Chains A and B, each alone.
Chain A
Amino acid sequence: MITKRIIACLDVHGGRVVKGVQFVDLIDAGDPATQAARHAREGADEIVLLDITATHEGRQTLLDTVRRTARELFVPFAVGGGIRTADDAAQVFEAGADKVSVNSAALADPTLIDAIGRSFGAQAVVVAIDARRDPEAADPVRDAQVFVQGGRKPAGRRVVEWAREAEQRGAGEILLTSMNCDGTRTGFDCELTAAVSEAVNIPVIASGGAGTVEHFVDVFGRGKADAALAASIFHFGVSSARSLKEELAKAGVSVRLPC
C-alpha cells in the first residue's frame, strides 16, 4: 500500500541549518549533512533542503552543501532556493539532488518548468507555491493568491490555477505552503490543500502550520495531502519522523514503518 510521506525540511543559510520564525531571529541548528543523515536515520521519507541565502555568492556554498549532504543520503533528496535557470538546476542535480524545487523563478518564467522537466524528467521538478488566502475574497480557497519574496509580494496568480498550469508544464509534485498558517503551529490549511490536491493528478506536499500529530492526521485525511513537510517539529530533538509516524499509524494513517 502506498504510504503518506513525512518530509524533513532543512532551511539552510550560508551552509548552515537555521531556524527562525519567518526567516528572522535565525538560530544555528547545525550542519546540513549531519542533520539530513540524522533525519533519514530517524525515519524521514525524504529530505528537502531549502537555501534561504539565495545570493549569487551563495551558489557555490550551496552546491558544496548539496554535495556533502547527498554523499551518504539514500532517500529522495530535493533542493530549492535560488534556482533560476535550467543550468542552475543541472548543477544542483550534478551535485546529487534528485529533485529541484522552483518557486519565484517559475512564476517569472513558467517555461522553466518545461525546460527542467524535459532534461531531467517530471519526477525531478517540484513547484513550490507560497499561498495566502484573501479574507475579503468571495471564495477564499478558490481565490487564494500566490505570493513571492517570502510571502511579501502577490504574484497575481490564483493558487489552484497555478498548480494546474505547473502540472501541465511538467511539474512532478506541488509543495504547497500556507503563508497564513506558517509558523503558527495551529495546523495545516486543509481546505486549500484539498482544493489543490483535487485539481491536479500529481502529489501535493502540504507545508505550514504543523504543531501536533493530529495536524498531520488531518492534512492526510481531510486535506488529501500525499506528503507533509515537517520542519520545526523536528528541530532540537523535539520529535523524530519515526515517533511521528508511529503516532500516525495508530491513528490509521498508512506510513512507512518500520523505518
Chain B
Amino acid sequence: MRVTVIDYKAGNLTSVLKALRHLGAEAVVTDGDLTLVEAAERIVLPGVGHFAATERLDATGLTPAIRAAIARGVPFLGICVGMQWLYAGSSEAPLQPGLAHFAEQCTRFSESNEKVPHVGWNSLEVRKGTRLLAGVELGEYVYFTHSYKAPVTADTVAVTHYIEPFAAAVERGNVMGVQFHPEKSGATGLKILRNFLEVR
C-alpha cells in the first residue's frame, strides 16, 4: 500500500508517518512534487496548527493536483486542519479558501465556560454507512486538539460533543476527514487508519 503524505509545513509529520508505516504502508512525503500526487494511490493530508498554512497548498499547485486526484477516485484522508481544508473555509483565516468539497464553513467553538482548545480524549457517535469508521463502536475514544470545527451535516459520519455537537469525521465516497488524530488515538486510531488503507 502506497500513500502520498502531503507536507505543507504545518507541524510535524513524524507521528502520522510512523503510524502509516506501522500498518505496513509505504508512505512517501511531498511538499510540492506534483508527480507524487498525480501517481498517488492514496493521499493523506495531515495538519496541526493554523488554517492559513493551507495557503501553501495553493502556492505550490498542490490544490488542483489533489482536486484532480480526488476526481479520479483516489482515496483521500484529511486529518485535523487537513479535514477542515475539505470545507469551503474557516473563520480562523477568512481570506483563505478551502477545497470546498464540502460546502460548509468551519468555525470556532462558541464562547462558554469550557476551555477552547478542546484537548483530550473524547467519544465518537458513529453513524451508519461509513467505511472509514467500520468496526468502531459507539463511545470509542479518540484524541482531539483543536479550536475550530466543522458542522454536523448529512456527510458527517461521526459526531462528538464538546460545547456543541460537531463533525468528528466526514466521508463522501473516496473523500474522508477526521478532526481527531488517529495516529495518536491508540488501537481505535490504528483501526481507522487501517480502514483507510484498505478502502477501494
List the interface of chain A (C-beta within 8 A of B).
1-5, 40, 45, 70-72, 74-76, 93-96, 98, 120-124, 172-173, 201-203, 226-227, 256, 259
The interface size of chain B toward A, counting residues with CB under 8 Å, comes to 32
**Cβ-defined contact, A3 with B141, below 8 A:** yes
Of A3, A121, A122, chain B has the most CB atoms within 10 Å of the CB of: A121
What is the 8 Å Cβ interface bit string for chain B, positions 3-20, against chain A (1 contact, 0 not)?
000000011101100110
**Cβ-defined contact, A75 with B186, below 8 A:** yes
Give the docked Cα–Cα distance between A70 and B16 (Å).
12
**Cβ-defined contact, B120 with A98, below 8 A:** no
Closest chain-A Cβ to B92's Cβ sits at a distance in Å of 12
* Interface secondary structure of B, over-half rule: mixed
**Cβ-defined contact, B119 with A203, below 8 A:** yes
Give the docked Cα–Cα distance between A120 and B184 (Å).
16
**Cβ-defined contact, A5 with B121, below 8 A:** yes
Return the contact of A76 from the options B12, B50, B118, B184 (Cβ within 8 A): B184
**Cβ-defined contact, B12 with A98, below 8 A:** yes
What is the 8 Å Cβ interface bit string for chain B, positions 137-152, against chain A (1 contact, 0 not)?
0000101010000000
Give the docked Cα–Cα distance between A70 and B187 (Å).
15
A-B contact pairs, 30 of them (CB 8 A): A1-B122, A2-B122, A2-B162, A3-B121, A45-B120, A45-B121, A74-B183, A74-B186, A74-B190, A75-B184, A93-B12, A94-B14, A96-B15, A98-B15, A120-B12, A122-B49, A123-B49, A123-B117, A123-B119, A123-B145, A172-B117, A172-B119, A173-B119, A201-B116, A203-B117, A203-B120, A226-B115, A226-B119, A256-B141, A259-B186
Closest chain-B Cβ to A222's Cβ sits at a distance in Å of 16
Q: Assuming A3-B141, A76-B184, A201-B116, is B18 touching A71 (CB within 8 A)?
A: yes
Give the docked Cα–Cα distance between A227 and B143 (Å).
13
Closest chain-B Cβ to A113's Cβ sits at a distance in Å of 15
- In the complex, whether B107 has a CB less than 8 A from a CB of chain A is no
**Cβ-defined contact, A3 with B122, below 8 A:** yes
Closest chain-B Cβ to A116's Cβ sits at a distance in Å of 11
- In the complex, whether B22 has a CB less than 8 A from a CB of chain A is yes
Give the docked Cα–Cα distance between A76 and B10 (Å).
18
Closest chain-A Cβ to B173's Cβ sits at a distance in Å of 28
Closest chain-B Cβ to A18's Cβ sits at a distance in Å of 26
Can you add 7 more A-B contacts, CB < 8 Å, to A2-B120, A74-B187, A98-B15? A5-B121, A45-B120, A76-B184, A121-B48, A124-B12, A173-B119, A226-B119
B116: chain A residues at CB < 8 Å are 201
Give the docked Cα–Cα distance between A98 and B89 (Å).
26
- In the complex, whether B63 has a CB less than 8 A from a CB of chain A is no
- In the complex, whether B123 has a CB less than 8 A from a CB of chain A is yes
What is the 8 Å Cβ interface bit string for chain B, positions 120-132, against chain A (1 contact, 0 not)?
1111000000000
**Cβ-defined contact, B18 with A75, below 8 A:** no
Give the docked Cα–Cα distance between A94 and B19 (Å).
14
